[in-house]
Every structure is written in structure tokens, then in C-alpha cells.
Amino acid sequence: MKVAVCAGEESGDALGHELLIDLKKNNKDIEFIGVGGSLMESVGLQSFFPIADISYMGLIDPLLNLKKILNIRKDFINFLKTENPDVFIGIDSPSFNSGICKALRKETNIKTVQYVCPQFWAWRYGRVYRFNSLYHKIFSLFPFESKLLKKHNVNFSYVGHPLAENLPSNHDEITLRKDLNIPLNKEVIAILPGSRKSEIKHHGKPLADFIKKYKKYNPDTEIILALNKESDLTGELKKLSKTIRVIFNTTQRVLAICDLAVIASGTATLEAAILAKPMVVIYKSNPLSNFILSNFFLKTEFISLPNILSQKKVVFELRQNQVSGNEIYEKVNLTYKNKRKISEKLSLIRESLLVLDSNKFSKALNEILSK
């Protein structure tokens, strides 16, 4: 069986890694082609192009690079037509992958799957009416999506979130802190500015302002900046890198030992929630992009996964102009005062995302391939 995949960013690469492992375990003669990052490549995928070429946040940044993105997608679609895989699985990045699925459904017999349901419940709800014409099946991560997908007769399988199963619930904090040379009694704040360059650009200065203010009043606190790679260290955060600890490519370990985290909205907030770590969530993007989203598309009260999954405000969210050093400082202090209660509420999220079936992806694929 030949399986084509496409992950367009770091979080998708992590999901794709778990997917490929599962499929490989249950299909000895499987072949993978397509697009992914270093994790998916470690399982045998040779990426057709670097995922950084299409990893842009918001509305405006993708528009500014639209010609480049469309040319890449056109070349990739032609590649898939030539290779003629049994199935194409788009991993997150629905804007990019839906165009691929549309072309494949129209011009080939290749089955199409979207792994991670497009967030129609948050913005552009009308997309749900096109799902069955685009995808033979959707792999859904979150339980609340099931009711909505059933309501619209969408063909889907609830597969849960692999982080709920794979992130250890009881880290050996003593060993982890020893490895990082951090005393057990030392307060640790983790800073995760995001994985995209645009996120780091927009979040850099307010995070740097927060760090300077917090260290002024709490000089003994260990503040750890967690980034994916060294090239992400730029701007104001780079200037501060000599006064705080910077760690690359190990965000989960940093979250495991921290007392509290300041995190860019995205998958890292889910990691922190599964670890029951109190957090302050930030989101700042291109102002025009945010204006369009907020006023014309956004349909959900919350932007962070912990609050969305809890269906109530559990952690503080700061958006756009709220993302400042002073605001982050204030919300961090308030979070510390209620950290035990917040941790208890977050601890419920892991259980809701567990699907303990090691063959779930293979079963779901076999259902559509046999039709």
C-alpha cells in the first residue's frame, strides 16, 4: 500500500510521526511519500519540499506568500498524480491540504483523508457542508467535534489525541531537573513563544518585557525559553538569551518541570494542559489578519485549546494589544495564586482525549480503502 501524506508545520509533523508509526506497524509492505518534517522523515518519509515553505500564521502572511504557496501545491499535486498512491492524508494545515484533496477527488481515484478536523466550529462554519465532497474520511482529535460532525452526516473517525496517550502523566521531575541542572526547590517559568517565525516575531518583544520585569522582582526564578531550533532565537529574545536559560527541541521536558508557563496559542497549550501545568496563553498576529478573523470569521469564545476543550475559562488568554509585558506579568501572578485549582481542572483534559486502540488509524483507513 502506498500512502501519501502532507504535514505543513511542526505540530503536524508530530501528529504525522505517530500516524506513520501506527500504519507501519500494521502494514508491513506500506510505502510513504509526501511532505513532513524531521520526525516523519525519521520513520522513512522523504519530504517532497521543506515544511517551512508553507508554514505561515494568520491570514495576511499566507496571502503575502500566496503565489509561492500555490506553485508549491500545484507541483505537489502533479507529483501525487504521477505516483498514484492508494490514499492521501492531509495532516492539519486544512487550507493547504483541502486544495490537494479537491484536485485529487476531481481528477483521480485516490482516497482522501483529513487528519485533524478543520476548525469549522471556530471560524467559517460553512466549511462543514463541503467536507464529504473533499474527504472520504476525517480523523477527529477532539470529542466535542463528534456531535457536530454527526449532526452534518460527515464521515469521520474519532481517534483522540496521541499526546494524551504518549505524554507521561508522572514525569521523573527529580531526574529531569538534575539533567537541566535546576535545583528541586527552584521556581521555574517556561516561555514558549511559538514554532513559526511569525509567532516569534510578534511575541518576542512583549515576552522580553515580561521576562525583564519578572526577573527584577523575582531574581531567583529560573526562566527557560523553549524553542525548536537555534535559528528561532532572534530580536529581543536573543538579546536576553545571556541572562536566561534557552533550551532547544525539548519543549515537553521543559513543560514537565515548570511551575507555570507562558505559551503561544497552539499545540503547546494542549501539551501543558495534558501535563496539568498552569499557564497564560498569548496570541498576537498581523493586525489586519486579526481584525478580519475577529470581526468576520471567529465564532468561538476562546482561542486556547485548554479553554475550548473545557468549554469554559480555565486559563488566561491574552490577544493582540493585550499581549504586553505588563499584562503577561499581571496574569502570571494571578495564575500563581490559583495554580492548584487550575491544575485540577486541566487534569480532566487528558482522560477526555484518550482512545486506547493501537490499530485505530489502520482500521479507519481500511474502512475507506475497502469501499
Q: Which of 49, 45, 38, 47 is nearest to 24 (CA)?
A: 45
pLDDT of residue 297: 43
Which residues have a Cβ under 8 Å from the Cβ of 342 and sit 6 or more positions away? 278, 314, 315, 335
pLDDT of residue 292: 45
DSSP 84-143: --SEEEEES-HHHHHHHHHHHHHH---EEEEES---TTTB-GGGGGGHHHH-SEEEE--H
Predicted TM-score (pTM) of the model is 0.77
What dihedral angle (degrees, nearest 10) is formed by the CA atoms of 324, 326, 329, 333? -130
pLDDT of residue 153: 97
Q: Which of 308, 318, 303 is nearest to 346 (CA)?
A: 308
| 3-class secondary structure, 3 | strand
pLDDT of residue 287: 59
> Domains plus CATH for the chain?
2-160+355-369 (3.40.50.2000), 173-352 (3.40.50.2000)
| Per-residue pLDDT in tens (0 to 9) along the chain, 371 residues | 999 999 988 888 989 999 999 899 888 889 999 999 999 999 989 899 888 777 655 555 666 667 888 889 999 999 999 999 999 999 998 989 999 999 999 999 999 999 999 989 887 889 999 999 999 999 999 988 998 999 999 999 999 998 888 887 777 888 889 888 888 889 999 999 987 778 888 898 999 999 999 999 999 999 999 998 787 888 888 888 888 999 998 888 999 999 999 999 988 999 999 999 999 999 987 655 554 445 434 556 788 999 999 989 999 999 988 999 999 999 999 999 999 999 999 999 998 898 877 788 888 888 888 77
pLDDT of residue 89: 97
Q: What's the distance, CA 144 to chain centroid?
A: 18
User: How many CA atoms lie less than 13 Å away from 323 in the CB half-sphere?
Assistant: 27
